[in-house]
Amino acid sequence: MEDRIIIFDTTLRDGEQCPGASLNTYEKLEVAKHLEKLNVDVIEAGFPIASPGDFEGVKLIAQTIRGCTIAGLARAVKKDIEQAWEAVKYSERPRIHTFIATSPIHMKSKLQLTPEQVLEQAVEAVKYASKLCPEVEFSAEDASRSEKEFLYRIFEEVIKVGATIINIPDTVGYAQPEEFGRLIKDIKGNVPNIEKAIISVHCHNDLGLAVANSLEAIKNGATQVECTINGIGERAGNASLEEIVMALKTRNDVYQKVTQINTTQIYPISRLVSKLTGFTVQPNKAIVGKNAFAHEAGIHQDGILKERTTYEIMTPQSIGLEKSSLVLGKHSGRNALKNRLEEMGYDLDKEKLNEVFERFKIVADKKKEIFIEDLEAIVSEEVMGQIPEVFKLEYFHVNTGNRTLPTATIRLLYQNKQHLEDAACGDGPVDASFRAIDRITKLKLKLIDYNVQALTRGKDAQGEAIVKIKDEKGNVFTGRSTSTDTLEASIQAYLNAINRMVSNSVSTAHC
């Protein structure tokens, strides 16, 4: 008999807590809409008490998304719980997710509370949350390093006062698979009223075991798994949604469990999260890495040509990825482009399609052949997470050489009205360009990361530049751009980050 596993996605909460991964309100909504298309059961939209922006993001998602339960995180504190409820109450299926640490080291060193005080606080929090919300999840933070007898007791008591889901987190990725599976089994066997609650797990990847621990928990009775797209999250990240889902699907003979995930949306949302956070997916990443369905060795190629299953245990189409190369060029029409984008999982309205088509034509004039990766880059740049262009590049000129001091001249259009121009020298053409932009904008910022990589194949490949800057308040903003000219991509990415910073300052000023 096959049982269904509930997929609880925490990309927008735990995933966004990863340093440098912060998303603005509308980027969070964009991800949430794709999670809805992915058909996840629960979206943990954020930590409402953390900041006004996080509260507004959770609230907007709760007001907009209708296909999933929307959860908000709260410490076992009345104010946190009230704030979480105010954010999620607009959802058709709201959930308050409250937590408190239960391990000896956390209770003594962090909370400075006795076990009895922790138990009392947990019970009071769940009791209060259940008066506001019909669905309450309770997490015992650092459960894998907690004393089992204390876990049995605290879970029994919170279920008595209204917890409908109990979550067992491996908060620091300490547990080993057999050990973690046994913990789940013991909780199931020693908490008298456990049948009244869903057993959930939340595993971190500090030892590279988050997915293995999650799967072992499923084998031992867990029916909800908390995970993130691309496995992003604190430190080494969380259990990867795509790996858990495809493991259950591919090895159904072992687990005999199913999910309601629309797996064909896995690759598109993986790319979206990567673009918006600025975190590149490693090439050999399971399921969604660019090499996951690539075959270079002659023996492998021969085997694949004769019988696909010799070297592929799942199809690329099952996760929304096209196996064959996309052959499109400058003579291709709008309909051909539209059909190919739909095959890739992008459903664009007429206005967005026209924007992508114009960009497509520009790139096609520079390249003999347009590949899938080119189209992904174009869609990401023209459609995903656009922001107002307060500063827009009009032109740049760079003079450089091995015996020449690199100098850049930049002209920007400010608010579509004023032309601004300046020049600067630097350690290289990129540094000189960034310095010239700094002179023009007169903004106080710090460049904290800069990365360029090739997105496509060939000498005319598109390059993607990702830039991260920090403002005076410590806020981090990510800019990205693509071009066959890596210097142009770098300049545009830097301006994209600046425009995000300026837009954030404007929105904050009007709050």
Eight-class DSSP state of 487:
H
| pLDDT for the residue numbered 460 | 66
Residue 209 and residue 180: Cα distance in Å, rounded?
Answer: 10
| pLDDT for the residue numbered 345 | 63
Domains defined for the chain, CATH in brackets: 3-277 (3.20.20.70), 295-321 (no CATH), 391-509 (3.30.160.270)
287 closest CA partner among 275, 271, 303, 309? 271
Q: What is the number of other CB atoms lying within 10 angstroms of the CB of residue 209?
A: 20
DSSP strand pairing (391-401 vs 404-414): antiparallel
Both tokens of 284, joined, read 């050999």
The helices-and-strands tally (H runs, E runs) of the chain is 17, 16
| pLDDT for the residue numbered 509 | 42
Eight-class DSSP state of 344:
T
Residue 499 · residue 492 · CB < 8 Å: no
Cβ neighbours for 127, distance < 8 A, ≥ 6 positions apart: 161, 162
| pLDDT for the residue numbered 331 | 63
- DSSP string across 58-70: HHHHHHH--SSEE
Long-range contacts, stretch 27-33, CB < 8 angstroms, 24+ apart: 27/276, 27/385, 28/57, 28/60, 28/61, 29/57, 29/60, 29/61, 29/64, 30/272, 30/276, 30/384, 30/385, 31/229, 31/269, 31/272, 31/273, 31/276, 32/61, 32/64, 32/65, 33/64, 33/65
Residue 60 · residue 34 · CB < 8 Å: no
| pLDDT for the residue numbered 380 | 67
| pLDDT for the residue numbered 17 | 82
Residue 143 and residue 122: Cα distance in Å, rounded?
Answer: 14
| pLDDT tens track for 416-461 | 999 999 999 999 999 999 999 999 999 999 999 999 987 766 666 7
Residue 376 and residue 379: Cα distance in Å, rounded?
Answer: 5
Q: What is the number of other CB atoms lying within 10 angstroms of the CB of residue 37?
A: 16
DSSP strand pairing (463-470 vs 446-454): antiparallel
86 closest CA partner among 62, 117, 65? 62
Intervals of the chain under pLDDT 50: 1, 296-298, 301, 324-327, 385, 507-511
The alpha carbon of 468 is separated from its chain's Cα centroid by a whole number of angstroms, namely 17
Residue 420 and residue 414: Cα distance in Å, rounded?
Answer: 7
Residue 290 · residue 281 · CB < 8 Å: yes
| pLDDT for the residue numbered 507 | 46
- CA dihedral 166→171→175→176, nearest 10 degrees, is 90
| pLDDT for the residue numbered 27 | 92
